Protein backbone atom coordinates (compact mmCIF):
# COMPACT_ATOMS: atom_id res chain seq x y z
CA UNK A 1 0.00 0.00 0.00
CA UNK A 2 1.31 3.39 -0.96
CA UNK A 3 1.30 6.18 1.47
CA UNK A 4 0.14 9.68 0.87
CA UNK A 5 3.75 10.98 1.12
CA UNK A 6 5.09 8.65 -1.63
CA UNK A 7 2.25 9.64 -4.00
CA UNK A 8 3.00 13.25 -3.29
CA UNK A 9 6.72 12.64 -3.99
CA UNK A 10 5.99 10.96 -7.35
CA UNK A 11 3.63 13.76 -8.32
CA UNK A 12 6.28 16.27 -7.30
CA UNK A 13 8.87 14.51 -9.46
CA UNK A 14 6.54 14.45 -12.45
CA UNK A 15 5.82 18.11 -11.91
CA UNK A 16 9.54 18.85 -11.77
CA UNK A 17 10.15 16.89 -14.97
CA UNK A 18 7.33 18.74 -16.73
CA UNK A 19 8.63 22.06 -15.48
CA UNK A 20 12.15 21.15 -16.67
CA UNK A 21 10.83 20.12 -20.10
CA UNK A 22 8.94 23.41 -20.41
CA UNK A 23 11.97 25.54 -19.51
CA UNK A 24 13.62 27.21 -22.50
CA UNK A 25 16.15 29.40 -20.69
CA UNK A 26 19.22 27.22 -21.46
CA UNK A 27 18.16 26.00 -24.90
CA UNK A 28 20.12 28.71 -26.66
CA UNK A 29 23.30 27.75 -24.83
CA UNK A 30 22.80 24.08 -25.69
CA UNK A 31 22.05 24.82 -29.36
CA UNK A 32 25.10 27.06 -29.54
CA UNK A 33 27.35 24.40 -28.02
CA UNK A 34 26.09 21.87 -30.58
CA UNK A 35 26.59 24.19 -33.56
CA UNK A 36 29.84 25.92 -32.59
CA UNK A 37 32.11 22.95 -33.40
CA UNK A 38 31.01 22.46 -37.04
CA UNK A 39 30.92 26.24 -37.51
CA UNK A 40 34.47 26.63 -36.17
CA UNK A 41 35.69 23.79 -38.40
CA UNK A 42 34.11 25.48 -41.40
CA UNK A 43 35.70 28.84 -40.54
CA UNK A 44 39.13 27.27 -40.01
CA UNK A 45 38.84 25.31 -43.28
CA UNK A 46 38.01 28.51 -45.18
CA UNK A 47 40.87 30.44 -43.56
CA UNK A 48 43.35 27.61 -44.11
CA UNK A 49 42.35 27.28 -47.77
CA UNK A 50 42.53 31.04 -48.38
CA UNK A 51 45.98 31.41 -46.83
CA UNK A 52 47.24 28.37 -48.74
CA UNK A 53 45.84 29.76 -52.01
CA UNK A 54 47.46 33.15 -51.36
CA UNK A 55 50.81 31.46 -50.73
CA UNK A 56 50.44 29.52 -54.00
CA UNK A 57 49.81 32.78 -55.87
CA UNK A 58 52.77 34.52 -54.24
CA UNK A 59 55.00 31.59 -55.21
CA UNK A 60 53.72 31.65 -58.80
CA UNK A 61 54.44 35.38 -59.04
CA UNK A 62 57.94 34.84 -57.63
CA UNK A 63 58.63 32.14 -60.24
CA UNK A 64 57.38 34.45 -63.02
CA UNK A 65 59.57 37.33 -61.79
CA UNK A 66 62.72 35.22 -61.64
CA UNK A 67 61.99 33.57 -65.01
CA UNK A 68 61.76 37.04 -66.55
CA UNK A 69 65.30 37.80 -65.33
CA UNK A 70 66.56 34.77 -67.27
CA UNK A 71 64.33 35.38 -70.30
CA UNK A 72 65.56 38.94 -70.81
CA UNK A 73 69.23 38.12 -70.20
CA UNK A 74 69.55 39.98 -66.90
CA UNK A 75 70.71 36.67 -65.46
CA UNK A 76 73.01 34.65 -67.72
CA UNK A 77 73.87 30.96 -67.80
CA UNK A 78 77.02 30.02 -65.96
CA UNK A 79 78.47 28.59 -62.76
CA UNK A 80 77.51 31.58 -60.62
CA UNK A 81 80.93 33.19 -60.55
CA UNK A 82 79.90 36.34 -62.42
CA UNK A 83 77.54 38.96 -60.90
CA UNK A 84 74.80 38.16 -63.44
CA UNK A 85 75.00 34.38 -62.93
CA UNK A 86 73.16 32.41 -60.23
CA UNK A 87 74.03 29.18 -58.50
CA UNK A 88 71.27 26.83 -57.41
CA UNK A 89 71.33 28.30 -53.88
CA UNK A 90 71.27 31.88 -55.16
CA UNK A 91 68.30 31.07 -57.40
CA UNK A 92 66.50 29.52 -54.44
CA UNK A 93 67.29 32.59 -52.29
CA UNK A 94 66.03 34.95 -55.01
CA UNK A 95 62.68 33.15 -55.11
CA UNK A 96 62.58 32.97 -51.30
CA UNK A 97 63.04 36.78 -51.08
CA UNK A 98 59.91 37.27 -53.13
CA UNK A 99 57.92 34.84 -50.95
CA UNK A 100 59.04 36.30 -47.62
CA UNK A 101 55.65 37.85 -46.89
CA UNK A 102 53.98 34.45 -46.38
CA UNK A 103 56.66 31.92 -45.49
CA UNK A 104 59.04 31.25 -42.62
CA UNK A 105 62.53 32.69 -42.56
CA UNK A 106 64.84 31.02 -45.14
CA UNK A 107 61.85 29.24 -46.75
CA UNK A 108 62.07 25.73 -45.28
CA UNK A 109 60.57 23.27 -47.72
CA UNK A 110 61.31 25.36 -50.84
CA UNK A 111 62.81 23.47 -53.79
CA UNK A 112 63.70 24.93 -57.20
CA UNK A 113 64.72 23.31 -60.46
CA UNK A 114 65.82 25.15 -63.61
CA UNK A 115 66.52 23.15 -66.77
CA UNK A 116 67.13 23.91 -70.42
CA UNK A 117 65.79 21.86 -73.35
CA UNK A 118 66.20 21.62 -77.11
CA UNK A 119 62.44 21.66 -77.78
CA UNK A 120 59.23 22.57 -75.98
CA UNK A 121 58.08 18.94 -76.42
CA UNK A 122 60.97 17.80 -74.23
CA UNK A 123 60.09 20.43 -71.66
CA UNK A 124 56.46 19.29 -71.66
CA UNK A 125 57.53 15.73 -70.85
CA UNK A 126 59.05 16.84 -67.54
CA UNK A 127 57.26 15.27 -64.56
CA UNK A 128 57.23 15.99 -60.83
CA UNK A 129 59.36 13.37 -59.09
CA UNK A 130 57.68 11.70 -56.09
CA UNK A 131 59.17 9.21 -53.67
CA UNK A 132 57.72 7.94 -50.37
CA UNK A 133 54.73 10.31 -50.54
CA UNK A 134 56.99 13.36 -50.84
CA UNK A 135 58.81 15.40 -53.45
CA UNK A 136 62.11 13.87 -54.55
CA UNK A 137 64.39 16.86 -55.16
CA UNK A 138 67.51 14.88 -56.00
CA UNK A 139 68.96 16.12 -59.26
CA UNK A 140 67.39 19.57 -59.05
CA UNK A 141 69.76 22.19 -60.42
CA UNK A 142 69.93 25.71 -61.86
CA UNK A 143 71.00 25.17 -65.47
CA UNK A 144 69.72 27.71 -67.98
CA UNK A 145 70.54 28.08 -71.65
CA UNK A 146 71.73 31.12 -73.52
CA UNK A 147 69.89 33.37 -75.96
CA UNK A 148 67.01 31.61 -77.72
CA UNK A 149 67.10 28.53 -75.48
CA UNK A 150 64.01 26.86 -74.06
CA UNK A 151 63.92 26.71 -70.27
CA UNK A 152 61.68 25.42 -67.49
CA UNK A 153 61.71 26.76 -63.94
CA UNK A 154 59.84 24.60 -61.43
CA UNK A 155 59.27 25.81 -57.88
CA UNK A 156 57.91 23.58 -55.11
CA UNK A 157 57.02 24.47 -51.55
CA UNK A 158 55.94 22.14 -48.76
CA UNK A 159 53.21 24.27 -47.18
CA UNK A 160 52.41 23.35 -43.56
CA UNK A 161 48.76 23.00 -42.58
CA UNK A 162 48.25 24.93 -39.36
CA UNK A 163 44.92 23.56 -38.08
CA UNK A 164 45.36 20.11 -36.52
CA UNK A 165 41.84 18.92 -37.28
CA UNK A 166 42.20 19.71 -40.99
CA UNK A 167 45.66 18.22 -41.44
CA UNK A 168 44.40 14.75 -42.34
CA UNK A 169 41.90 15.91 -44.93
CA UNK A 170 43.97 18.65 -46.59
CA UNK A 171 47.51 17.22 -46.69
CA UNK A 172 48.82 15.88 -50.00
CA UNK A 173 52.30 14.80 -48.88
CA UNK A 174 53.79 13.37 -45.70
CA UNK A 175 54.12 15.30 -42.44
CA UNK A 176 50.69 16.91 -42.91
CA UNK A 177 51.74 19.34 -45.63
CA UNK A 178 50.45 20.45 -49.01
CA UNK A 179 52.82 20.55 -51.97
CA UNK A 180 52.51 23.86 -53.80
CA UNK A 181 53.86 23.96 -57.32
CA UNK A 182 54.64 26.66 -59.88
CA UNK A 183 56.14 26.15 -63.31
CA UNK A 184 57.27 28.62 -65.95
CA UNK A 185 58.31 27.57 -69.45
CA UNK A 186 59.85 30.13 -71.79
CA UNK A 187 62.23 30.78 -74.64
CA UNK A 188 64.99 33.27 -73.92
CA UNK A 189 65.02 36.47 -75.94
CA UNK A 190 67.77 36.81 -78.57
CA UNK A 191 69.99 38.99 -76.40
CA UNK A 192 73.66 39.53 -77.23
CA UNK A 193 75.85 37.09 -75.32
pLDDT at position 29 is 76
Identify the helix (H) or strand (E) that includes residue 63. Answer: helix 27-71
* Tens digit of each residue's pLDDT, the chain (193 residues): 555 556 566 666 777 777 766 766 777 778 888 899 899 989 988 999 999 999 999 999 999 999 999 999 999 888 877 888 999 999 999 999 999 998 888 999 999 999 999 999 999 999 989 888 999 999 999 999 999 999 999 999 999 988 877 787 788 898 889 999 999 999 999 988 7
Looking at the DSSP bridge assignments, the partners of residue 152 are: 115, 185
Helix axis angle for 88-99 and 27-71, nearest 10°, is 140
Locate the DSSP E strands across 105-189: 110-117, 130-131, 134-135, 150-160, 177-187
Q: How many Å apart are CA 147 and CA 145, to the nearest integer?
A: 7
**What pLDDT shows up at residue 163?**
82
Give every CB contact of residue 54 below 8 A, 6+ residues apart in sequence: 102
Please provide residue 100's backbone torsions phi and psi, each rounded to the nearest 5 degrees: -60, -25
Q: Where are the domains of the chain?
A: 56-187
DSSP string, 81-127: -STTB--HHHHHHHHHHHHTTTS-TT-TTEEEEEEEESSHHHHHT--
**What pLDDT does residue 50 have?**
93
Amino acid sequence: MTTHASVKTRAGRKGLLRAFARQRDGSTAIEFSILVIPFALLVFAILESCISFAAQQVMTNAADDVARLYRTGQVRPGPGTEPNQLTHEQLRDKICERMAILVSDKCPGLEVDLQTFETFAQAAALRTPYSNNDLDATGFDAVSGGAGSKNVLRVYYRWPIITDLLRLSMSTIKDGKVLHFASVTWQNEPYAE
